[in-house]
Structure 1
Amino acid sequence: MGNCRSRKITSLLTYITPLLIISILIAVAALKRNSDTIANSQNEAAWYVLQLNKEYAEFHHQLHRYASGNSDHNDMMLQYEILWSRFTTILTNTHISHLYHFDGAYHQISKQFAYIQSIEQQLIALEPGDPEQALITQVKERYENLVVFLSHKFRLSSGDLLKRVEATQTMKLLIYFLLCAIVLLGGILFWALWRESTSMRKLAMSDTLTGIHSRLWLNNHLNELVDAQQPFRFYLVDLDGFKQINDTQGHHIGDQLLKVVATRLAALSGEHYHVARMGGDEFAVIESLSVQHEINISQKLLNSFQQPTVLNGRTFAISASIGSSEFPLNASSVSEVLQQADFAMYEIKQQGKNGVLHFTSPTIQTTKPGSTSSKVKPFSRGI
């Protein structure tokens, strides 16, 4: 149940974490846009707008001088053309496209430009001598309205920029929150993965049927003992007649028998003994020889199979053929330990089963011309 919950948490966090990362990227992009808008509004856009105000003011000044008779018509029209080009630059220059981010700014400038365009014929026909005429007054009012509007729009405290600044602060807080959330969820995800990994390793190290150590645990433990050069004796336990019981009584009865054997062997587990299932009907017992002890493990192994077992209302006599090898006395590696114990186990089966045989030295085969091979049996009979 706990493993299932841990896997669900891990799966959920696996989906949530990328979404949070994407959210952070979106928030960072939005923050950059707002920051660029604020920066650009104080730089490029502000410069263009100031230039527009300057040229507009200069045009009004030249218009007033012409109407007063202090300037000629060409100077006034030249300033009109300069103002015209300034409007065109602002409205068509792609470098100040962020002007659209300010509500009404583009519309107001376009409206002013349309007005400037509409008075061209009036300017061409304008005669000097009346500095207070309606056209000059109208140009002045239009200019003053534009100055007030743009000054308000491009101030940092204006409504548009203030919203940008507030949005930027909000985005920063959101990014901080998302970063904290990712750190927290990352920690939870790491914990869930660690817990799941620990649980899976624990499951892998235990035999699913019997609950004792698995073959994986056995291999790891044997390698650790060999690497540390710690002496031990390895017992390979193979059940006698298990295949017949499993085939005739059914796999369910066979599994029950394996559980009974595992329970009996597990009773040997302690400071100096460890029990594992190698697979099928084979078990293993590791006896540590690093500390002297007086218990006869060979006898204890045989005693584990002396008492019959009752399965599904029927009594079954059980026995085992057991071969052993000792490290480093007879074997120098894990593979040699396993081979020698397996060799000894098959030898005891050939000798009538139900016993323990210790591997003592390699089998020596000698062949002479004109003679048959002879074998020196490399075993000592266990009790």
Structure 2
Amino acid sequence: MTNNHKFDLSTQLFNRYKALLIVLSVLLIVANFYILSETRKLTNAFSEQQNQATWSLFQLTKEFSSLVAIAPLALVDEKYKQSTELAYELTWSRFDLLFNTKEADSFMQIEGAREFFGHLFARFNQLEPLVFDLNDNHQVTNVTNQLNIIYKEMLGYVNLNFRIKNPLYQKQMQQAQLLEHTQIALMILLFFCAALVGYVLHIESKTNKQLATTDSLTRIPNRLAMTQDVQQHIEQCTPFTLCLLDLNGFKQINDRLGHPAGDKALLTLAQRFTDSNNSTLFSCYRIGGDEFALVLLQQSSDQMEHALNCALDCFAEEVEVVDGTYCALSASVGLASFPSQANCYSDLIKIADRNMYQMKFATRTAHTRQT
């Protein structure tokens, strides 16, 4: 019951984080569309009568802000990646216009302007191979950070050197700053969402691994878990003994009292095998319908005999399978030791299985002679 309760709590926690991830993803998409929408509005707000050079510079700012806004989402899907590449090309073309159009000459003649934008353009060009070869979130974060640095430097220079005193332009600049702040908030949200994705995937992987290596009825490790543990002991050259147990009398319980009674018998035995005393002596696994396996790490023969006797003591008391109904169970045992008898998993299983069935056959033969 305790294991089931812990499993249910883990499932509930995972589902909550998954729901939170969905909510944050929606918020991220909404925020992204908000930035793109506001940037588009900011572009349309300028009239055709404004100076063409100012317009070209604003176009650069607008395209750059769009690139900065969409770059963190480049790996969401192919559409966003293509949009990021397109935004980079548009921003590149806006830089190029500043250097190659007559309308922008008045800006470029300001002291230090050509050198400043030339330096920015050179740094921007260096990012081209990275933008067109984004494969993981680390690359996206790196490119986004570098774009933000260039973008903020450009905004600072424009705000300082190309001020226009009319209220319309001042209003547009305020909106641009708001978009910048929104972009920062969007990046924070994106990074948090990415961290949450990693955490949820970690929890999901851990839960799936636990499910894959846990017996669904008894909640003790299953055959896969035994295989992994045995292989680990072999790789680490740790001496151990593999003990296979096949229950005697279990089929009769299922036939006479039904499968629920058999399940209760298995649960009771699993609890006895894994109680606080036995858990220090051996590891227990359910590897089949009525088959269990024990891995004993004791090295001396006395320690091994004590651990094995403790395991067999689990059959000393009858098992209550139905309220008020008790049944006696026993087990046929097969042992195989590493490395004295075999040095690989498959050979250990074969030896232990053969020994177990020899004991089972001998028990049946003795019982037949007595009857």
TM norm. shorter chain > 0.5: yes
Report what 1:326 is aligned to. Answer: 337
Report what 1:115 is aligned to. Answer: none
Q: Cα distance, 1:167 vs. partner? A: 1.2
Distance 1:39 1:326 in 2: 88
**Aligned AA for 2:350?**
Q
* Residue 308 of structure 2 is aligned to residue 298 of structure 1: yes
Does the C-alpha gap of structure 1 residues 46 and 229 become closer, same or farther in structure 2, counting only changes over 3 Å? closer
Does the C-alpha gap of structure 1 residues 248 and 317 become closer, same or farther in structure 2, counting only changes over 3 Å? same
Distance 1:349 1:238 in 2: 8
Report what 2:292 is aligned to. Answer: 283
- Spell out the pairing of 1:6-85 with structure 2 (5 A cutoff): 6-30=13-37, 33=40, 34=42, 41-44=50-53
Instruction: Give 1 or 2 for the bigger CA radius of gyration.
Output: 1
Report what 1:337 is aligned to. Answer: 348
Does the C-alpha gap of structure 1 residues 353 and 42 become closer, same or farther in structure 2, counting only changes over 3 Å? farther
Q: Cα distance, 1:42 vs. partner? A: 4.7
**Aligned AA for 1:298?**
L
SS in 1 for 2:278: coil
Does the C-alpha gap of structure 1 residues 39 and 19 become closer, same or farther in structure 2, counting only changes over 3 Å? farther
Q: Cα distance, 1:242 vs. partner? A: 1.1
Distance 2:321 2:280 in 1: 31
Q: Deviations over 1:108-139 (max 9, x none)?
A: xxxxxxxxxxxxxxxxxxxxxxxxxxxxxxxx
Q: Deviations over 1:323-364 (max 9, x none)?
A: 111111111211111121111111111111599xxxxxxxxx
Q: Cα distance, 1:181 vs. partner? A: 1.8
Aligned with residue 158 of structure 1, among 160, 166, 170: 166
Q: Deviations over 1:357-382 (max 9, x none)?
A: xxxxxxxxxxxxxxxxxxxxxxxxxx
* Residue 260 of structure 2 is aligned to residue 249 of structure 1: no
Distance 1:176 1:354 in 2: 80
**Aligned AA for 1:301?**
A
**Aligned AA for 1:307?**
E
If each structure's helix is expressed as a fraction of its own residues, which one has the higher value? 2
Aligned with residue 234 of structure 1, among 221, 238, 242: 242
Q: Cα distance, 1:258 vs. partner? A: 0.4
Contact 2:273–2:279 (8 Å) recurs in 1: no
Contact 2:287–2:293 (8 Å) recurs in 1: yes
Q: Runs of 5+ in structure 1 lacking a partner? A: 48-95, 97-153, 356-383
Does the C-alpha gap of structure 1 residues 157 and 288 become closer, same or farther in structure 2, counting only changes over 3 Å? same
Contact 2:239–2:337 (8 Å) recurs in 1: yes
- The CA RMSD over aligned residues, in Å, is 3.3
Does the C-alpha gap of structure 1 residues 187 and 351 become closer, same or farther in structure 2, counting only changes over 3 Å? same
Q: Cα distance, 1:228 vs. partner? A: 0.8
Does the C-alpha gap of structure 1 residues 2 and 305 become closer, same or farther in structure 2, counting only changes over 3 Å? closer
Distance 1:328 1:278 in 2: 22
Aligned with residue 190 of structure 2, among 182, 187, 194: 182
SS in 1 for 2:287: strand
**Aligned AA for 2:291?**
E
- Spell out the pairing of 1:312-323 with structure 2 (5 A cutoff): 312=322, 313-323=324-334
Q: Cα distance, 1:177 vs. partner? A: 1.0
Q: Deviations over 1:184-219 (max 9, x none)?
A: 233234333323433343344332322322222211
Distance 1:220 1:172 in 2: 53
**Aligned AA for 1:3?**
S
Does the C-alpha gap of structure 1 residues 14 and 208 become closer, same or farther in structure 2, counting only changes over 3 Å? same
Report what 2:283 is aligned to. Answer: 274
Contact 2:21–2:196 (8 Å) recurs in 1: no
Provide the TM-score with structure 1 as the length reference: 0.57
SS in 1 for 2:317: coil
**Aligned AA for 1:2?**
L
Does the C-alpha gap of structure 1 residues 177 and 353 become closer, same or farther in structure 2, counting only changes over 3 Å? farther
Aligned with residue 212 of structure 1, among 220, 223, 235: 220
Q: Runs of 5+ in structure 2 lacking a partner? A: 1-7, 57-102, 104-161, 367-371
Distance 1:292 1:28 in 2: 74
Does the C-alpha gap of structure 1 residues 327 and 295 become closer, same or farther in structure 2, counting only changes over 3 Å? closer
**Aligned AA for 1:256?**
K
Contact 2:298–2:304 (8 Å) recurs in 1: no
Does the C-alpha gap of structure 1 residues 288 and 31 become closer, same or farther in structure 2, counting only changes over 3 Å? same
Does the C-alpha gap of structure 1 residues 272 and 36 become closer, same or farther in structure 2, counting only changes over 3 Å? farther
Distance 2:175 2:350 in 1: 74
Contact 1:6–1:195 (8 Å) recurs in 2: no
**Aligned AA for 2:52?**
N
**Aligned AA for 1:314?**
T
Provide the TM-score with structure 2 as the length reference: 0.59
> What percentage of aligned pairs have identical amino acids?
25
Contact 2:244–2:353 (8 Å) recurs in 1: yes
Q: Cα distance, 1:44 vs. partner? A: 4.2
Does the C-alpha gap of structure 1 residues 18 and 303 become closer, same or farther in structure 2, counting only changes over 3 Å? closer
Does the C-alpha gap of structure 1 residues 239 and 328 become closer, same or farther in structure 2, counting only changes over 3 Å? same
SS in 2 for 1:279: coil
